[in-house]
A and B are shown apart, each in its own frame.
Chain A
Amino acid sequence: MTKLQHPALITLMAGRWDDAFGDLHHLSEETLGAECAQRLLDKCGDRRAIQSEIRETVDELYKRGTHQAGELALAWSMMTCRPSYPPSFRSVLPQLQYALDAADLSADDDGDCRERLRIWWAAGAGDYVREKRSPFALAAAVLAGEIEKESALVSLAHEVDVAKWFRSPHVGPTLTVMPASRATKLNSHNRPFAEILDKELPLVCARNLDQARRRLSNEFPHASAAIAALFRDLREGEPIKFRPTILVSQKPGTGKSRFVRRIATAIGLQHVHRYDGAVSDGQFSGTSKGWSNTEASVPARAVLASRTGNPLVFIDELDKCSGGRGSLNGSLTSALLPFLEVETAKSYRDQSLDCELDLSMASYICTANDVSLLPDYLRDRFRIVRVPAPRLVDLPLLASSVMEDLAREDPERAGDEPLAPDELMVIAKAWEKAGFSLRKLQAIIRATLEARDAHAMRH
């Protein structure tokens, strides 16, 4: 074991380019000769000139043909590396790595050198191309924790180890949806559920309720009753659980589906499991394990897909489901029943997974146009909230939220002027004729903006 002797490795430990230059100059003064050393000092002020001077020095040193000069040459060539130009590293890194591997260093020195050299390699791989600093300052900054990871080539999303994140325990409320003690062996169709078997799944907590409420009432001024009812179920910082709710409006196109999606994202639920109500069988509660291809119930799949204990299951057009209670294939209305009461949902035996699931925290929100079509056992269990059709007074707020939507779809719309009063008047007249449907309003506003573009002044 020897001391750190190789000039390139000594240079590697420098914290700044200037320090490295000074030390190296001192080390190589003898070998280089006074004239060459002085020339280096003279050019020191000019970045371009010093780079080419260093390159000449490296050539000069290699020409000497001695071991010591060769080592100095490697050290000097390190001075030409720039993180902003990764190829500048390629004639240094393999040599430097070899020098480090060949050097017989103490464990501490070896560790320090390797740590720094790894940062140099990363710089050579283009991880720090936006850095203006020298690799010496860069290595010092990375070791000090100033730069976490700035990579142009490797995306950060790639680095997130989902499986590891999923293994680590969640801080905050959790729920074991699928306890192993009450589960049976999973068959091949339900293999993915092994991931949540006996796992404490996080419960998504409500956050920014005030802000979400304000934003939603701006966006859906006509749905204030629904907003009030749904927000009554939520407490800031506590797991999200809505009472089963049906949003009803006589006329189609009041923006119910969009409202459900918006409320979910506004309070922090990332995952909404949408289920189309226009079905004629009981597939909602899964198909039996005995069949050749079996599928778990919709809430169980929502839990698996969201990896949370309290997914929001959104059943669109609940009143459109056909098939009475006596139908051979079952029906959505009766399939829904066990999920709605907390008592039964707490220990729901999924017929496909054949294990008892705790689905007590899952929420169900449905939309419908006519609740009188629904059987009374379902109407009892749901809270029914009316979403009236928007009125003419809601137009300015609705129009601006539609404009925001359009801007989100099409970046070119982002800079559009807000609608002028005369434009709003025209829109109002057209909308009144169309029967106050939000879908119509969207089409009208889009047409208005297109007309505006067509008649815009060009210059």
Chain B
Amino acid sequence: MSNTGWKDDLARDLEAYGFGEEPSAFEMARASVIEHWSTEIRRIGKGFKLVVVGQARRHPDYEDGDRICTAAVHWFDRHARFVRTAHRIYVLGEQAGEEIPEDGINTE
């Protein structure tokens, strides 16, 4: 299904997130999930992009459990609940265990 208006959608969504809004429960429910995710910052030419790698779930193009890497992330939720890439919203599941939690304290 082609979506030629993706740029408008993206701008609208980012605008909304900037207002403090979050994706609707419906959007979150139908979005693909990334489990055991971790973030990477990659260089593209002079610039950089943030990507999330992990195991996909409910992704239309991949089997569950496939290891995927998202496109450049345009919005990373501050509580790490979701990310917005150019075309998709991903719900973030469990974070991969390698990263040290903030403040160096394991809260669980």
- In the complex, what distance in Å separates the CA atom of A86 from the CA atom of B76? 14
A259 interface contact, C-beta 8 A: no
The one of A64, A69, A87 in contact with B99, judged by C-beta atoms closer than 8 angstroms, is A87
| B108 on interface, CB distance cutoff 8 Å | no
The reply to whether B20 and A90 form a contact with Cβ atoms under 8 Å apart is: no
Listed stretches B25-33, B45-53, B57-65; interface member: B45-53
Closest A residue to B79 by CB, please name it. A91
Residue with the highest number of chain A CB atoms closer than 10 Å, among B41, B46, B76, B103: B41
A121 touches B73 (CB 8 A): no
Contact of B18 with A by CB under 8 A: yes
Instruction: Name the A residues within 8 Å of B39 (CB-CB).
Output: 87, 90
Q: Kindly state whether residue B14 has any CB partner on chain A within 8 Å.
A: yes
Instruction: Please indicate the chain A residues that have their CB under 8 angstroms from the CB of B100 in the complex.
Output: 85
- Chain B residues with CB under 8 Å of A48's CB are 103
B102 at interface by CB-CB < 8 Å: yes
Stretch at the interface among A55-63, A190-198, A321-329: A55-63
Q: A93 contacts B77, CB within 8 Å? A: no
Q: Are B50 and A90 in contact (CB under 8 A)?
A: yes
Contact residue among A63, A91, A121 (Cβ-Cβ distance under 8 Å from B76): A91
- List the A side residues contacting B19 at CB < 8 Å: 62, 65-67, 70
Number of A residues whose C-beta is below 8 Å from B?
32
Complex interface: chain A residues within 8 A of B14 (CB): 95, 98
Query: Given the complex of chains A and B, what is the CA–CA distance between A94 and B82 in angstroms?
Result: 13
* A145, B104: Cα distance in complex, Å: 31
Closest Cβ–Cβ distance, residue A124 to chain B (whole Å): 5
**B48:A58 contact, CB within 8 angstroms:** no
Q: Does A73 make an interface contact (CB < 8 A)?
A: yes
Contact (Cβ within 8 A) B21 A124: no
Instruction: Indicate whether B67 reaches chain A with its CB closer than 8 angstroms.
Output: no
State the Cβ distance, B19 to closest chain A Cβ, in Å.
5
Residue contact B20 to A93, C-beta cutoff 8 Å? no
Interfacial chain A residues near B43, Cβ < 8 Å: 125
How far does the alpha carbon of A61 sit from the alpha carbon of B20 in the complex, in Å? 8
The answer to whether the Cβ of B74 comes within 8 Å of any Cβ in the partner chain is: yes
| A126 CB contacts on chain B under 8 angstroms | 41
Is there an interface contact between B102 and A121, defined as CB atoms closer than 8 Å? no
Bound-complex Cα distance A87 to B102 (A): 8
Q: A65-B21, A73-B20 are in contact. Are A121 and B77 (CB under 8 A)?
A: no
Nearest CB on B from A315, distance (A)? 47
Residues of B within 8 A of A73 (CB): 20
Q: How large is the interface on B (under 10, 10 to 19, 20 to 34, 35 or more residues)?
A: 20 to 34
Scoring A58, A77, A87 by chain B CB atoms within 10 A of each residue's CB, the highest score goes to A87
Residue of B nearest to A67 (CB): B19
Asked if B77 contacts A91 (CB within 8 A), the reply is yes
Query: Given A58-B78, A90-B76, A98-B74, A63–B50 Cβ distance below 8 Å?
Result: no
Q: Is the CB of B46 within 8 A of A94?
A: no
Check: A189 CB closer than 8 A to any chain B CB: no
- A94 CA / B83 CA spacing, docked (Å): 10
Other-chain residue from B20, B21, B50, B99 in contact with A94 (beta carbon distance below 8 A): B50
- Beyond A67-B18, A70-B19, A91-B77, whether A118 also contacts B47 by CB under 8 A is yes
A98–B75 contact, CB under 8 A? yes
Residues of B within 8 A of A66 (CB): 19
Pick the contact of A91: B20, B46, B72, B78 (CB < 8 A).
B78
Task: Tell whether, in the assembled complex, residue B47 and residue A94 are in contact, meaning their CB atoms are under 8 Å apart.
Answer: no
CB closest residue in chain B, given A71: B18
Q: How far is the CB of A325 from chain B (nearest CB, A)?
A: 61
| CB-nearest residue of chain A to B48 | A121
Chain B residue contacts of A121, Cβ below 8 A: 41, 47-48
Whether A93 and B18, one on each chain, are in contact in the complex, defined by CB atoms closer than 8 angstroms, is no
Inside 8 A of A61's CB, which chain B residues have their CB? 20
- B46, A64: Cβ atoms closer than 8 Å: no
The answer for the CA separation of A95 and B76 in the assembled complex, in Å, is: 7
In Å, the complex CA distance between A343 and B19 comes to 82
A9 an interface residue at 8 Å Cβ cutoff? no
**Does A88 lie within 8 Å of B18, measured CB to CB?**
no
Contacting pair B47 A70 (CB below 8 A): no
User: How far apart sit A74 and B20, CA to CA, in the bound complex (Å)?
Assistant: 10
Query: Contact at B46–A118, with CB atoms within 8 Å?
Result: yes
* Complexed CA–CA distance, A98 and B50 (Å): 12
Nearest 3 A/B pairs, CB to CB:
A62-B20, A121-B48, A125-B41
Seen from chain B, the residues whose Cβ lies within 8 Å of a Cβ on chain A are 14, 17-21, 39, 41-43, 46-48, 50, 72-78, 80, 99-100, 102-103
Report 18 cross-chain contacts, Cβ distance below 8 Å, ordered by A residue: A61-B20, A62-B20, A64-B20, A65-B21, A67-B19, A70-B17, A73-B20, A85-B102, A87-B99, A89-B41, A91-B76, A94-B75, A95-B18, A95-B74, A121-B41, A122-B48, A124-B41, A124-B48
